Amino acid sequence: MNNLQPSDPTSIGGYPLLGRLGAGGMGQVYLSRTGSGRLLALKTIRDDLSSEPGFEERFAREIRNSDRVRSPWTVTVVDYSAPGRRPQWLATEYVPAPSLADWVAAHGPLPRTALLSLAAELCGALQAVHQAGLAHRDVKPGNVLLARDRPRLIDFGVARAADDSRHTHLGVSVGSPGFLAPDQAVGSVAAEPADVFSLAATLVYAATGRGPFSRAGEQIPAATLLYRVVHEEPDLTGVPPELVPLLTACLDKDPAGRPTAARLGAWLEERGGRSGRWADECPTVLAGELTATEHSARTLVDLAHHTTVTPSGRQPAPATRSDTVLAAPAEPRRRLRPAVLLTAGVAAVAVVTAVVAAVHFGTQRSSAGSSPSGKGRSSPAAASATAEKSPAASTRQPQPGQSPAGQESPAGDGAARVVQAPFELATGESVAAASRSLIIQQDGNLVIYDQDQTARWAAMTSGEGNTARFQADGNLVVYDSAGRAVWASRTDGHPGAVLVFQADGNVVIKSGDTVLWAAGTAS
């Protein structure tokens, strides 16, 4: 997850945008929420697709069709754009889990038992889709979320809506090279056998860290991958032996030669792959990271409840308890189901990694993906050289009227406390004024709480051993245990800047009278 860019809208369809979850072939995906605080994944559709004749009607039809697939392995469609509105968009449940693509890239192939469980769960997902008389048409590692209870198959309906020859000749291919079936690659209408082929290719990736038509670490053009899919045999080196015959059958070039999802599920069960075991078989490290991600999501909901949206669409400072929480969108809804039917595991597409990037609700959006200098991710050595911390700063709790390093806090600008750089907060340490406290939590998140212990702002970082440093160059930075910057206020280049806990409850970084950064926590 990344913070919003200056060019991003603040809301779409009446739903406020909280951050960027990623981008795909169809458009940008944002983190959003309902008026009651439930988190959503809101996907916008690219203008060139929306402008194609017939796409809008096809999009609406396929989204309605996708709601026919009611299974434990799919996400709920909550809302979508009205006819004629631009951009077109689709809002679904947000699942706080990494994609299979991201997880394997970061941690390597799944263990055998987890792989068998994943295969069984995804077979169940495809059976539900096919029993509804539909096809997914874009099964790939990036569209599989490794949620706690069971994997989710996402992006259903959008790819189907774009699966039209008019888009193919414009260069918009449905499916992903290396995972789409050869019948898709040559332009045939993708149906159930194509999904089975793509599922098998996805399972090869889960087992080996690469697709069946690519080599480890290889970077090749999409056209080369498509050629291999159509003309070459798959490479199943590294796949558990008991799965090789099954996946070989699924990867048959001839659609008629592939088993159905139901038949594949039966074969898997004979080999110990049964659905319903994912929660017990998923990697232990994954379970731990999901807990941290779910905690971050709950914090984000709390923060979002303090945010109001003005008629101009701007997000001002978080509201006080007497203010009105964000109202429901005024645009007429096309909800496919009552909101109460959303599952308790709400939350997304996530691209949730071990480090969750910052979403900033203040008057400035800070860059979670940048280094303290804003010039790319820093190395551990660079991070250490920049810190210039006081030896006492990481261990001493500041007393009233003092900065963490022990200096007397100068008064000014009605501030309850002025903290001078450099200082560091290690895990569990905090600095506070009368109404606000800044703490680096045990989960690695840098959070500002009010006097009622309600989160008012968070960097949305996570990780054991994270530290927060207010540096001599004026930059407030969260570093992970390896010394990499995972969030920064981007206020570097201002030696002498101070961190101010203002009397109005706002926490800001100032250089003289100039506010360089604000958390937007004013009461």
pTM, two decimal places = 0.60
Residue 138 is among the residues annotated as catalytic for this protein: yes
Among 80, 79, 95, 78, CA closest to 153: 95
> For 84-93, 262-271, 390-399, which range has the lowest pLDDT when averaged over its residues?
390-399
Q: What is the pLDDT of residues 33-87, one digit of tens each?
A: 888 778 899 999 888 877 778 788 878 877 777 777 778 898 888 888 888 888 8
CB 346 within 8 Å of CB 38:
yes
What is the model's pLDDT at position 306? 52
pLDDT tens string 426-461: 988 888 887 899 999 988 889 898 888 888 888 888
Least confident among 256-260, 348-352, 510-514: 348-352
Tell me the chain's radius of gyration from C-alpha atoms.
25
Highest-confidence segment of 290-294, 371-375, 465-469: 465-469
- For range 120-133, the mean pLDDT: 91
The residue-averaged pLDDT of 265-273 equals 92
User: What pLDDT is recorded for position 155?
Assistant: 78
Phi-psi region of 175 (alpha: psi -120 to 50; beta: other; left: phi over 0): left
Q: What is the pLDDT of residue 443?
A: 87
By DSSP bridging, strand 430-432 and strand 436-440 are antiparallel
Q: How confident is the model at residue 300 (pLDDT cuts 50, 70, 90)?
A: low
* Surface-to-core class of residue 19, CB atoms within 10 Å of its CB (0-12 exposed, 13-18 middle, 19+ buried): buried
Mean pLDDT of 112-128: 95
pLDDT of 198:
96
Whether residue 370 is predicted with pLDDT greater than 60 in this model: the reply is no
Give the pLDDT band (50/70/90) at residue 515. confident
Q: How does residue 134 score in pLDDT terms, banded at 50, 70 and 90?
A: confident
| pLDDT tens track for 475-494 | 999 998 888 888 888 888 88
> Within 10 Å of residue 154's Cβ, how many Cβ atoms?
26
Percent of the chain with pLDDT over 90: 30
Going from the N-terminus, what domains does the chain have, and what CATH number goes with each?
11-285 (1.10.510.10), 369-523 (2.90.10.10)
Mean pLDDT of the chain: 74
pLDDT digits (tens, 9 = 90+) for 200-248: 999 999 999 999 999 877 888 888 998 999 999 999 999 999 999 999 9
- Which of 256-260, 313-317, 379-383 shows the lowest per-residue confidence on average (mean pLDDT)? 379-383
**Does the pLDDT value for residue 295 go beyond 80?**
no
pLDDT computed for residue 413 by the predictor: 42
Name the band, by pLDDT with cuts 50, 70 and 90, for residue 137. Answer: confident
pLDDT at 320 over 60: no
More confident residue, 502 or 376: 502
Residue-by-residue DSSP string for 72-130: TTSPPEEEEPPTT-SS-EEEEE--BS-BHHHHHHHH-SPPHHHHHHHHHHHHHHHHHHH
* The 436-440 sheet, strands edge to edge: 430-432, 436-440, 446-450, 455-458
Catalytic residue among 79, 102, 138, 195: 138
**pLDDT at residue 357 tops 60:** no
Q: Burial level of 376, CB count in 10 A (0-12/13-18/19+)?
A: exposed
Inform me whether the pLDDT recorded for 385 exceeds 90.
no
Cα separation values, 62 from 71, 93, 138, 155, 507, Å: 17, 17, 14, 11, 47
pLDDT band at 160 (very low <50, low <70, confident <90, very high): low
What is the spatial distance between Cα 361 and Cα 359, in angstroms, rounded to a whole number?
Answer: 7
User: What pLDDT was estimated at residue 77?
Assistant: 85
Instruction: State the pLDDT at residue 189.
Output: 66
More confident residue, 382 or 1: 1
